[in-house]
Amino acid sequence: MKSYELKKKYIEFFKKNNHKEIVNASLIPENDPTVLFTTAGMHPLVPFLLGEKHPAGKRLVNVQKCIRTGDIDEVGDEFHLTFFEMLGNWSLGEYFKDEMIEMSFDFLINELGLDIERIGISCFKGDKDAAKDLESAKKWEKIGIKKGKIIFLPKSENWWGPAGNTGPCGPDTEMFYYTGEKTPKEFNNEDKKWVEIWNDVFMEYNKNKNGKYEKLKQRNVDTGMGVERTLMTLNGYDNVYEVDTLKPLILKIERLSRKNELRSKRIIVDHLRAATFILNEKIEPSNIEQGYVLRRLIRRAIRHGRLLDIKHRFCSEIVKEIFEVYKSEYKFDERFILEQIGKEEEKFDRALNQGLRVFENEIKNLKNKKLNGEIAFKLFSSYGFPLEMTEELAKEKKLKIDKEKFEEEFEKHRELSRTAAVGKFKSGLADHSIETTRLHTATHLLLQALKEVLKDKSIMQKGSNITHERLRFDFNFSRKLTEGELKKIEQKVNEQIEKKIDVHWEEMSLKKAKEKGISGAFEHKYGEMVKVYFIGDYSKELCAGPHVTNTKELGKFKIVKEESSSAGVRRIKAILGN
């Protein structure tokens, strides 16, 4: 089956069941500054899952383009992708478990023609927050799934959401399909031959800012079916790159490459497809937020082009093939995309070759299995290698990087540029000028001061934008701040600056950070290991940095404006004077 057919079948089926098709929304979330990309079909629907009225009604269906970068290191294997399309349908406070499970069964068996004996079902096991989902299990059984094919799993497996820190979520029931040879008697979710193809989430809870699960006003259904993964399963392929939207791209890269590195080919195809769709949102490669993810995707693809021994600039050839594959479904701003890809490739191309030479030379003389942090830093600052790329290079040679030394160099360099009174520290990738670094540290102090003065621990960053002149900080709070409060906040921040507190960071697992109650606005952007920045005992936050080493470097903190940013979100603009 082809991708177009599956999508059409799905949409038609739900339309027949009185659903309205809604748009395939932008990849850039409109009202959620805490998340860089749309990660699921439900994402743009959050206000409606919470009870707002949707103009298209209560039964919705669509195809949604999504980006998930959490598993980016896994890309190159059989089925991890950063960009994918998701089929989804929703009940906004209308039908619930019974009707949804009936429709799921009908679609899988009667529309897709799947073998009922090869379908496995998982349901939520129950815990202190919500009861065991016996209703779903009973329904599946009644409809014809044998008991041995229905299992109960804990929250880690059978609970979905919220997409950010708070919001709609609930237990889910997941449908798996067996891809092995002999039809098994029982369903075992740990056996990789069972592939998850559809997820029905029963969103009747809202996780609030205190981490509590409260019942929502309405009981919703949110389902998601990954297009590529489902097609892989339906067609009996052993990897997603056989699917009709990805296969031509693999063939194209195969024609260009002179080496047979499967993983590199897949990384290029995946990354350039994601990059094309991000560029189509008018995002340009840059050093911040979505633009930085875009830059890393393109640069990593280029590096893997080298591994395939491609001697020329090749990105645009793949991108043109992507236009071709999706031309009947998506409208691309071809000129802009090709121009931007071309520019980024040109920018990185020469630096990459030189940097790779530096790397190769360096490892020739290595005495132990550790790459000097100074070299990693040089590759970063002079050749624009994201640290993760150098890490990947090192890993391929079974080496580790001295990250501490890297950080030290980073600090030293900043110190140098500071004494030289250079206005801007050009690190190659991130904007780490002294001004923005100081303002960045100031936002940490500001957040803690806001929590204290407004006596609200749930306050968190909803957005941050720093220029050389000022910081702009968005946070959740429901009313205007008074003059008195603003004065107190300023005072608190300045007290910490005057105390000359040391700033340091530690690396720990995200799990450990969470156990310690440390959070940050962009948790999901980070991998397993995270950096926690400490400003003495005053503030601790998950953050990628960079920061000053002591608060005495900040100067005088002054709030210049306080205003509303959006519903329930306030915005402060502040500067650092001398």
Reading the block at residue 223, the tokens are 């389902």
- Which CB sits closer to ligand SER, 42 or 548? 42
In the complex, what is the shortest distance from the CB of residue 199 to ligand SER, in angstroms, rounded to a whole number? Answer: 4
Q: Which of 136, 165, 223, 417 touches ligand SER by CB under 6 A?
A: 223
Q: Which of 6, 27, 40, 221 touches ligand SER by CB under 6 A?
A: 40
- Which CB sits closer to ligand SER, 68 or 558? 68
Q: Which of 29, 164, 171, 224 touches ligand SER by CB under 6 A?
A: 224
Q: Which of 145, 201, 234, 269 touches ligand SER by CB under 6 A?
A: 201
In the complex, what is the shortest distance from the CB of residue 160 to ligand SER, in angstroms, rounded to a whole number? Answer: 5
Question: What are the C-alpha distances in Å from 428 to residues 121, 376, 379?
Answer: 49, 13, 9
Question: How far is it, in rounded angstroms, from Cα 368 to Cα 400?
Answer: 10
Where b means 16+ CB within 10 Å and e means fewer, 116-152 reads: eebbbbbbbbbeebbeebebbbebbeeeebbeebbbb
HEC profile of 128-147: CCCCCCHHHHHHHHHHCCCH
- Which CB sits closer to ligand SER, 6 or 352? 6
* CB-based contact 468:431 (threshold 8 Å): no
Distance of CA 250 to the CA centre of its chain: 24
- Which CB sits closer to ligand SER, 27 or 308? 27
- Which CB sits closer to ligand SER, 39 or 417? 39
List 557's β-bridge partners, or say none: 576
Span near ligand SER by CB under 6 A; candidates 68-76, 222-230, 335-343, 400-408: 222-230
Question: How far is it, in rounded angstroms, from Cα 226 to Cα 87?
Answer: 6
**CA torsion, ordered 351, 357, 362, 363, to nearest 10 deg:** 120
Q: Which of 199, 218, 257, 264 touches ligand SER by CB under 6 A?
A: 199
With CB under 6 A as the rule, give the number of residues binding ligand SER: 10
Q: Counting contacts by CB under 6 A, is residue 104 touching ligand SER? A: no
In the complex, what is the shortest distance from the CB of residue 86 to ligand SER, in angstroms, rounded to a whole number? Answer: 6
Please list every residue from 157 through 176 that binds ligand SER, using CB under 6 A. 160
- Which CB sits closer to ligand SER, 224 or 520? 224
Q: Which of 85, 133, 196, 222 touches ligand SER by CB under 6 A?
A: 222
Site string for ligand SER, 48-87 (x = CB under 6 A): ----------------------------------------
In eight-state DSSP terms, residue 312 is: S
In the complex, what is the shortest distance from the CB of residue 224 to ligand SER, in angstroms, rounded to a whole number? Answer: 2
Reading the block at residue 396, the tokens are 């391929």
Q: Which of 42, 197, 216, 268 touches ligand SER by CB under 6 A?
A: 42
- Which CB sits closer to ligand SER, 100 or 272? 100
In the complex, what is the shortest distance from the CB of residue 352 to ligand SER, in angstroms, rounded to a whole number? Answer: 35
Question: How far is it, in rounded angstroms, from Cα 167 to Cα 48?
Answer: 11
- Which CB sits closer to ligand SER, 171 or 305? 171
CB atoms within 10 A of CB 186: 12
- Which CB sits closer to ligand SER, 222 or 270? 222
Q: Counting contacts by CB under 6 A, is residue 373 touching ligand SER? A: no
Sign of CA dihedral 318, 320, 326, 332: positive
Span near ligand SER by CB under 6 A; candidates 45-53, 204-212, 221-229, 472-480: 221-229
Of 461, 456, 457, 463, nearest in space to 479 by CA: 456
Strand order in the sheet with 569-577: 461-466, 471-476, 569-577, 556-566
In the complex, what is the shortest distance from the CB of residue 534 to ligand SER, in angstroms, rounded to a whole number? Answer: 34
* CB-based contact 403:375 (threshold 8 Å): no
Question: How far is it, in rounded angstroms, from Cα 89 to Cα 87?
Answer: 7
Q: Counting contacts by CB under 6 A, is residue 44 touching ligand SER? A: no
Strand order in the sheet with 529-535: 503-509, 529-535, 539-542
In the complex, what is the shortest distance from the CB of residue 61 to ligand SER, in angstroms, rounded to a whole number? Answer: 12
Span near ligand SER by CB under 6 A; candidates 40-48, 53-61, 349-357, 420-428: 40-48
> Where does 208-274 show beta strands of DSSP type E?
213-226
Span near ligand SER by CB under 6 A; candidates 35-43, 251-259, 387-395, 436-444: 35-43
> Where does 393-521 show beta strands of DSSP type E?
400-401, 461-466, 471-476, 503-509
Reading the block at residue 503, the tokens are 């700033």
Query: What are the residues binding ligand SER (CB under 6 A)?
Result: 40-42, 88, 160, 199, 201, 222-224
